[in-house]
Structure 1
Amino acid sequence: MFKRIALFLATNLAVLVLLGIVMSVLQNVFGIRLGNNGAILVMAAVFGFGGSLISLLMSKWVAKKSTGAYVIEQPRNETEQWLVSTVRRQAEAAGIGMPEVAIYDAPEINAFATGANRNNSLVAVSTGLIRAMTRDEAEAVLAHEVSHVANGDMVTMALIQGVLNTFVLVAARIVGGWIDAMMSGNREGGGRGLFYFVTVFALDIVFGLLASMIAMAFSRYREFRADAGGARLAGREKMIAALKRLSLTYGESTLPNQVQAFGISGAVGHGLSKLMRSHPPLEERIQALIDAPQERASGSAVVR
């Protein structure tokens, strides 16, 4: 938790400095002079959405590099053949393009999906999952990840993060300017004082934490939705069995921070820390599947 906050502080300080440099260049070099709020909005949108969209476009490459995932191009054994054929069948049932299928070396039971769109995605499973799960349980996990792709969760998450980033940058600077004006009175020569930059930096942190809570709330919601999609593709009992297996054996994730939110499971906090977690408790996910109305799955989605 403290590492996440420290990283957030460093990131926002860098954004603040870079935003100031860009606005100075636009005004002093190119002679572009937007109104204060207009300049803030334009720059905030560029930085807010730019970072999220770049992360989305690079997500597959980053995931492969950071996990050392091996993409199965020609299956070398029966297990790899089963993984590829299962994902292909589920992708066809979900109406998406065939994802790349990969294996990465990690001791815990885990899997993730990422990619820029529904027809250009990656589904990866850990070696720990292959060793510890039955085929039915592994099928459900794959179905959960394919459902993330079919639901467009990666794109939606990037857009939500872009909106929230923009809100944080705009709100912090408008409120900071208002507070600075009240505190400074009629500052000689106008412009912003040191107090403004200190205030904006503090507001970046406060608003940023609130924005992170909103993003994580959506992330938890999409896990419930992916579980429901996995139940439709593989069968509800298989999905419940897979989550129960995770609840008994899941340990600390070794996934890099860039893809941790896209894993099948993640660390669950308590109290206020729960608001900063990307995954709901496994027992809540299991109960949601038990309470959900039974849906009749198509034969193509459940027959081997």
Structure 2
Amino acid sequence: MNHIRTFMLMAAMAALFMGIGWLIGGQSGMTVAFLMAAGMNLFAYWNSDKMVLKMHQAQEVGPGHPLFEIVKPLAERAELPMPRVYIVEQPQPNAFATGRNPENAAVAATSGLMRMLDRDEVAAVMAHELAHVKNRDTLVMTITATLAGAISMLGNFAFFFGGSRGNGQSNMLVALVAMIVAPIAAALVQMAISRTREYGADAIGADISGQPLKLASALAKLQGAAERIPNPVAEANPAAAALYIIEPGLGGVRDNLFSTHPAPENRIAALEEMAGSLLPPVAVAPALERRPSALNPNAQQRRRNPWG
């Protein structure tokens, strides 16, 4: 059902984009809009992961790092190629996935997340991100974000040059619709797609980790932190909000139209319903479990923060 809804929303986004092109320039405007969208999506397809990781100044980690050792068995259980694993030095606890397909995927967690959550909660969060990779949500959201940006650009174009439907006469009403209504509609569709994808990733991620209640407890902790700890990247680039497992600066319990994520309360309730119906939890980094000091050289001095 989630896949069908996503397809319908993306079709609506594409139709809106083509329609704005037609309002601005008739048949030729629609053709130009199509070519522009194709070019922008092609660029995003090949470069979105590099842009996202660079924007966050993410640092890749390898075997031996706690996060890498957590992700590895989860990827095996999900039957996915091992993704690249990154740490983002950022106080707000959060995580995201990026990449055009499972063979070119990357998952990242912030240092704030590693400090706040226990090992099983981190595993549940990373399983959620691997679910995005498995569902190819990163590609879907890249395409919708690109189309939303292009629609906004077309709206600005209409404001400066007026609307025309092939008769050569300027139509300021059309221009105002294109400038104001179309970008808002595109943003709403983009957010609806994002919310749909989050529910799906919660369900599949809980299946991968086998610990829906750990994901629920992680979401509860992340919700509180997101409300009080700033996220400089999301503040500078609002479009980045849809990337994360929890929306930066969220508020309210309903899935309102202007939210990129479902309300954590709703997600937690759905996960609690899933508990007891999944496979046993995946074994996460047993070697690290036997040697707690491997997680953090200062573990004994920082008992309340085993992740460092």
What is the match of residue 97 of structure 2?
113
State whether structure 2 residue 181 is matched by structure 1 residue 192.
no
Task: State the 1:247 CA deviation.
Answer: 2.7
* Count of matched residue pairs: 254
What is the match of residue 220 of structure 2?
244
What is the match of residue 298 of structure 2?
none
Q: 1:18-57 counterparts in 2 under 5 A?
A: 37-57=26-46
Q: Is the 8 A contact 1:110 1:128 kept in 2?
A: yes
TM-score between the two structures when normalised by the length of structure 2: 0.71
State whether structure 2 residue 83 is matched by structure 1 residue 99.
yes
Instruction: Give the AA of the match of 1:262.
Output: L
What is the match of residue 245 of structure 2?
264
**Which one of 67, 78, 91 corresponds to residue 83 of structure 1?**
67
- SS of equivalent to 2:109: strand
- CA-based RMSD of the aligned residues comes to 3.5
Q: Is the 8 A contact 2:255 2:262 kept in 1?
A: no
State whether structure 2 residue 201 is matched by structure 1 residue 217.
no
TM-score between the two structures when normalised by the length of structure 1: 0.71
Q: 1:90-239 counterparts in 2 under 5 A?
A: 90-161=74-145, 176-177=163-164, 191-193=168-170, 196=171, 199-234=174-209, 235-239=211-215
Instruction: Give the AA of the match of 1:205.
Output: I
Specify every segment of 5 or more residues in structure 2 that has no aligned partner in the other structure, as ranges. Answer: 1-16, 287-308
Instruction: Give the AA of the match of 1:263.
Output: Y
Instruction: Give the AA of the match of 2:52.
Output: A
Q: Which moved more, 1:139-148 or 1:293-302?
A: 293-302
Q: Is the 8 A contact 1:261 1:278 kept in 2?
A: yes
Q: Is the 8 A contact 1:93 1:301 kept in 2?
A: no
Call closer, same or farther: CA 1:271–1:53 in 2, change over 3 Å. Answer: farther
Identity %: 30
Instruction: Give the AA of the match of 1:253.
Output: N
Write out per-residue CA displacement over residues 130-186 of structure 1, whole angstroms, 9 at most, x where no aligned residue. Answer: 11111111111111111111111012223445666788859x97x9436xx9xxxxx
Task: State the 1:55 CA deviation.
Answer: 2.5
Specify every segment of 5 or more residues in structure 1 that has no aligned partner in the other structure, as ranges. Answer: 1-14, 24-35, 182-189
Task: State the 1:278 CA deviation.
Answer: 0.9
Instruction: Give the AA of the match of 2:184.
Output: L
Q: Distance in 2 between matches of 1:297 and 1:273?
A: 29
Q: Distance in 1 between matches of 2:39 and 2:279?
A: 39
- SS of equivalent to 1:68: coil
What is the match of residue 289 of structure 1?
271
Q: Distance in 2 between matches of 1:52 and 1:134?
A: 38
Q: Is the 8 A contact 2:121 2:214 kept in 1?
A: yes
Call closer, same or farther: CA 1:259–1:160 in 2, change over 3 Å. Answer: closer
Instruction: Give the AA of the match of 1:52.
Output: N
Call closer, same or farther: CA 1:118–1:204 in 2, change over 3 Å. Answer: farther
Call closer, same or farther: CA 1:270–1:48 in 2, change over 3 Å. Answer: farther
